[in-house]
Chain A
Amino acid sequence: MKKTVLMLAMLLCSMVFSASVLAENDGVAATSSGKTVKMAGGTPGGADWRYPSPFMFYPRGPGYCRMSLLFDTLTWKDANGVIPALADGWEVSDDGKEWTFYLDRNARWHDNELFTADDVEFTIEYMQDHEGEFTWFETIGYIDDVEVIDDYTVVIDLSEPMASFLVDLAGNVPMLPEHIWNDVSDPLTFKDDDAVIGTGPLKLVEYDSATSSYQYEANYDYYDGKLLVDEFISMDVSNTAAALQTGTVDEVSFWGSEIDAVQNFENDPDFEIITGPSFWVLQVIFNCEKYPNDILDFRQAIAYGIDRDEIVSQVLGGGGMPANTGIMHPDSIWYNPDCTVYEYNTDMANDTLDSLGFTEKDSDGIRQYPIGAKRSGKVEFDLYTLKKFENEAELIQRNLEIIGIRINVRTSDWGTIDDYLKDGNFDTVISGHGGIANPQIMRVPSWPASTYHNDDYDSTFVAQEVEMDLDTRKELVNQLQEMVADDLPVYTLYHPYMWCVYNPEVLDTWFYTRDGIGIGIPLELNKLVFLARYGDANENGKINMQDVTQIERMILELDDETEMADANQNGRINMQDVTQIELTILGRAPIRIG
């Protein structure tokens, strides 16, 4: 017995010893009495969003957001659209090629150096020199020349008009301090403390890759509004709902089928919920170069044969809405409500398949390819997808069995599927992507596959890129959506909802950004959340999303039970109208977007 006790004691000692080796702080602690906000910001699986420098951040929404807390852009977006940031104001020439920016005179870098027009010129030239390494959106190539007029005026000349300039470039490219990056030859490996010096409202204190956690402190000298917090922490938690309940974090976000977790918070007075569009779409990608999916009528038959409402209710539990067949999100200003809709209709599907000659059925009800076709035997092919979309795939499998098409669902990891898509070596794939509040995402509708070819589509895409008139550009983007809905390089399934659930006692300024942060990130981590200046509109409770929903219901004369998704999808109301209503209520002038 003595020996056992001794052994356990030794064990305990070794545990304490190893823990003490890991304890790095020496106990000299500055006790901060300020306000700390903690967010559940890790990824399931412990991947982290990397060091938040402009060249190292993980090239996805969460990575960009963590960087954007430190670095400002010339313009930014709030709940209503584009607002000034490092640029106080701007002008554009009539041909849309010359942009003049008037810079904020109070902006300073975190090391107290002044921000000037030279930094803007340097940033753009630096980005052009290191185009390959800036893994975020490709936009910098449009810039021809940057001209510094004086310390606070800069002119950017474009080689051709760029309709999305204010969002995709001015509102996207982080401004770098020339005095730091001037000497950096390989920005992808530049990981000093200096690499995160920006002009943003927060400063980075510490980043830990192993625990995927970030610690920021307030930049009290921020030029554009008073800070509402002293410290912001983003950390990895396993169970987000439990983390919020236990006070481990103050804000979490949920997605799609996690609607159950959100409903648990609905009746809890300690928490508030805002619902946002995810600007994300799940879709079936067809191989338009491979029989039988190269036949348009065949793809349409499949579209008629898939019950999207059932997918939304069964798989998502109602945590989303059937998607716009033209890809762009219904809450985006670019949404085209008139795209072809393929209501679930097995008769239509069967008739189309019959007329294509896929008539013979064998004993198990599966059709045969017509004689002399490129394939023979049963109409049967593969549907590749990730494990996480297996339920959707199996539902589609059951749907299509009814119209006599056999799908073999194969799940694999993304590396493998990505390879098939790039090589064009597939029949159908279920995959998804975000960014569908920005028309740039329409460049390759079947992305990451490239089996859809339509010259008319490509030229329309290019035309909208350079179209400076908003209404004309919208018309072109509408055409793109109609072409996708008619040609079906992809058949869109659903748009999930997103929810931000938070403890309003700690911070109550959370909101979803109009058409997404930057180029269209659907997350709630907009730096304006930490600033008093945004607060004015929503913070005082003059308007919140629930009121907006009520307004929408009143306009549409709907009762409380009716799904709002229907209202939006049919295009009876879009977010732009809602914003205009909000602004009218607040007595503010309507804004222009674009």
Chain B
Amino acid sequence: MHQINKLAYYLVILFIILSINFSLPRVMPGDPLSYLTDPGADIPPARMTEEKMERLLAYYGLDKPLSEQYINYMVGIIRGDLGWSIYYSAPVLEVISGRLKWTLLLVGTSTAIHVTLGILIGATSAWARGRKKDMGLLISILSISSFPSFFLGILLTILFVIKLDIFPLCGAQTAFATYSSPFEEIFDILHHLILPVATLVISHIGGTYLLMRNSMLGVLGEDYIMTARAKGLSERYILHRHALANALLPIVTMTAMTVGFMVTGTIFVETVFAYPGIGNLLYNAVLYRDYPLLQGLFLFISITIVGANFIADMIYIRLDPRVKHE
């Protein structure tokens, strides 16, 4: 009975999310064909008559009453069809998946690195609380992390691309390169990945580090740490076995919460390094009111956030068995 309730609960949530995803883009002023008159593109627009605009709207089914569009949208989702992106003139699923792989690589790698480094440095810093080491880490990490990511990206570009010439300028891969072996291609992709990842890691590590440091300081003040000390356990053992796992809980929550934003929040890095990804896609979809693409992206982002929270819950149970029994 409990299981069925839970399932029904999730279905209702899903239905609400889908409905919001449908209505949100349509509440904004403007329509999906407004890109045709945009003066921003530096180039002659296709000047179309009202009549032609109407024919196009009809082609995309946007002249139908909202209720009918809503039903078509829901039916499409059930059938696994996310529709056709008007701005990109391609299936929504294809548009998203083409960029998603790069975003996952970029966000996945940089999240893994900044969380790992944040935890390690944060713990070290807390352990050395108040000493020179702690202060040094605190000041240096906070100061480099406070650079805006696009500025950091430009700095790294000037230094490592233009001055030192050891990394490629932009892109996720050398355009249409021919490789003699798969290793060469992997190397090429990693070579292009390093600067964007470094930018993201540096600009995100501050948060993780501070949280870990504070959380660790809290844990170190607990009675059981004193007990462990009293038992004569080594400092290293106490740090790893007793303190670390408990101090990790807030980090897990934070990581889960930020992953959803990270997916779309890499837009500055994508722009500075011309790195393909979801961030710019969402930006353009909003800018040009591409309803089907917006619906698809919102759906994808909702799923990412719900998924990340689900994973966080699972990890929580591992880290803190008490959660399971509550």
Look across to chain B and name the residue whose beta carbon is closest to the beta carbon of A523: B43
Spot the interface stretch: B5-13, B112-120, B203-211. Answer: B112-120
Which of the candidate stretches A202-210, A303-311, A351-359, A484-492 sits at the interface with the other chain? A202-210
* Contact present for B157 and A242 (CB under 8 Å): yes
A21, A29, A242, A414: most-surrounded residue (chain B CB, <10 A): A414
Indicate if the CB atoms of B112 and A11 lie closer than 8 Å. Answer: yes
A97-133 with Cβ < 8 A to chain B:
131-133
User: Do residues B39 and A432 form an inter-chain contact, with CB atoms below 8 A?
Assistant: yes
Partner of B178, one of A29, A135, A208, A243: A29
Whether A16 lies near B59 (C-beta < 8 A) is no
**What 0/1 pattern do residues 466 to 492 of A give for CB contact below 8 A with B?**
000000000000000000000000000
Q: Which residues 190-226 in A have Cβ within 8 Å of B in the complex?
A: 191, 205-206, 208-213, 215
Dominant SS at the A interface? loop
Q: B116, A7: Cβ atoms under 8 Å?
A: yes
Cβ of A32 under 8 Å from chain B: yes
Q: Which residues of chain A in 116-165 are interfacial with respect to chain B, using CB atoms and an 8 Å cutoff?
A: 131-133, 135-138
Which residues from chain A contact B189 at a C-beta distance below 8 Å?
19, 22-23
* Residue B84 is within 8 A (CB to CB) of chain A in the complex: yes
Determine whether A71 belongs to the interface, using a CB cutoff of 8 Å to chain B.
no
The stretch of A38-46, A78-86, A401-409 that contacts the partner chain: A38-46
Q: In the assembled complex, which residues on chain A have CB atoms less than 8 Å from the CB atom of B186?
A: 16, 19-20, 23
Q: In the complex, what residues of A have CB within 8 A of residue B170's CB?
A: 236-239, 243, 248
Q: Which residues of B from 148 to 167 have beta carbons under 8 Å from A?
A: 157, 161-162, 165
**Is the C-beta of B95 less than 8 angstroms from some C-beta in chain A?**
yes
Bound-state Cα–Cα, A541 to B217, Å: 74
- Check if B169 sits within 8 Å of A239, measured CB to CB: yes
- Would you call B88 and A209 a contact (CB within 8 A)? yes
Binding site for A on B (CB under 8 A): 28-31, 34-49, 52, 55-56, 58-59, 84, 87-90, 94-95, 98-99, 101-102, 104-105, 108-109, 112-113, 116, 120, 157, 161-162, 165, 168-173, 175-176, 178-182, 184-186, 189-190, 193, 240, 270-274, 276-277, 280-281, 283-284, 287-289
Query: Which of B39, B99, B176, B181 is within 8 Å of A431, CB to CB?
Result: B39
Specify which chain B residues have a CB less than 8 angstroms from the CB of A62 in the assembled complex.
43
Given A20-B182, A23-B186, A246-B162, are A60 and B37 also a contact pair (CB < 8 Å)?
Answer: no
Interface residues on A, range: 35 or more
Given contacts A209-B98, A248-B169, whether A51 and B89 have CB atoms under 8 Å apart is yes
Contact, CB under 8 Å: A42 / B274: yes
State whether B180 touches A414 (Cβ < 8 A): no
Choose from A25, A236, A418, A519 the contact partner of B37 (Cβ within 8 Å): A418
A265 part of interface (Cβ distance < 8 Å): no
Separation of A206 and B176 alpha carbons in the complex (Å): 8
Bound CA span A138–B49, Å: 8
B37 touches A448 (CB 8 A): yes
A415 within 8 A of B: yes
11 inter-chain pairs at a CB distance below 8 angstroms, sorted by A residue, are: A15-B190, A46-B277, A51-B89, A136-B46, A188-B59, A236-B171, A386-B39, A415-B30, A420-B29, A441-B47, A520-B44
B59: A residues at CB distance < 8 A: 132-133, 188
CB distance from B90 to the nearest CB of A (A): 6
Question: In the complex, are the beta carbons of A447 and B47 less than 8 A apart?
Answer: yes
B112: nearest residue on chain A (CB-CB)?
A11
Residues in chain B near residue A44, CB distance under 8 A: 271
Q: A432 — nearest CB in chain B belongs to which residue?
A: B39
A50 close to B (CB within 8 Å) = yes
CB-based contact B39/A50 at 8 Å: no
A521 close to chain B: CB less than 8 A: yes
Chain B: CB-nearest residue to A413 = B287
A137 near B46 with CB under 8 A, answer yes
What does the 1/0 interface line of A40-65 toward B look like (CB < 8 Å)? 00111111101100001011111000
Task: Output the residue of B49, B165, B280 with the most chain A CB within 10 A.
Answer: B280
**Residues from chain B with Cβ under 8 Å of A50 in the complex:** 88-90
Q: What separation, in Å, do the CA atoms of A255 and B41 have in the docked complex? A: 11
Is the beta-carbon distance between B88 and A27 smaller than 8 angstroms? Answer: no
Which residue of the partner chain, among A46, A138, A212, contacts B52 with CB atoms under 8 Å?
A138
Q: CA of A579 to CA of B216 in the docked complex: distance in angstroms?
A: 77
Question: Known contacts A25-B185, A414-B39: does B45 contact A433 (CB below 8 Å)?
Answer: yes
Q: Are B34 and A236 in contact (CB under 8 A)?
A: no
Asked if A26 is an interface residue, CB under 8 A from chain B, the answer is yes
Residue of A nearest to B54 (CB): A132
Closest chain-A Cβ to B61's Cβ sits at a distance in Å of 13
Report which of A138, A416, A434 forms a contact with B42, defined as CB distance below 8 A: A434
Min CB gap A101→B, angstroms? 25
Contact B172 A23 (CB under 8 A): no
Q: Contacts A131-B55, A248-B169 given; indicate if A213 touches B161 (C-beta within 8 A).
A: no
The answer to whether A45 and B48 touch across the interface, beta carbons within 8 angstroms, is: no
Chain B residues whose C-beta falls within 8 Å of the C-beta of A386 in the assembled complex: 39-40
CB distance from A287 to the nearest CB of B (A): 16
Given the known interface contacts A415-B29, A441-B44, the answer about A191 and B90 at a Cβ–Cβ threshold of 8 Å is yes
| Cβ contact within 8 Å between B44 and A433 | yes
Would you call A369 an interface residue if the criterion is a C-beta within 8 Å of the partner chain's C-beta atoms?
no
CB nearest neighbor in B for A234: B175
* A31 contacts the other chain (CB 8 A): yes
A414 contacts which chain B residues (CB < 8 A)?
30, 34-35, 37-40, 287-288
The answer, yes or no, to whether A279 is at the interface (CB within 8 Å) is: yes
Contacts of B40 in A (CB 8 A): 386, 388, 414
Which 8 pairs show the lowest CB-CB distances between chains A and B?
A415-B30, A435-B44, A132-B55, A434-B44, A61-B43, A29-B178, A59-B46, A46-B280
In contact, B190 and A19 (Cβ under 8 angstroms): yes
B108 CB contact (under 8 Å) in A18, A38, A278, A448: A18
Report the separation of the CA atoms of residues A29 and B171 in the bound assembly, to the nearest whole angstrom.
21
Interface centre among A4, A8, A248 (most CB of B within 10 A): A248
Of the candidates B35, B99, B273, the one whose C-beta lies within 8 Å of that of A210 is B99
With the chains together, A522 CA to B42 CA distance in Å?
Answer: 9
Question: Which of B41, B157, B283 has most chain A Cβ within 10 Å?
Answer: B41
Q: How far is the CB of B27 from chain A (nearest CB, A)?
A: 12
Beyond the given A135-B46, A419-B29, A522-B44, please list 19 additional residue pairs across the A-B interface where CB-CB is below 8 A: A8-B116, A19-B105, A19-B189, A23-B189, A27-B181, A30-B178, A38-B175, A44-B271, A61-B44, A131-B55, A136-B46, A138-B47, A138-B49, A189-B84, A236-B171, A388-B40, A414-B37, A414-B287, A419-B30
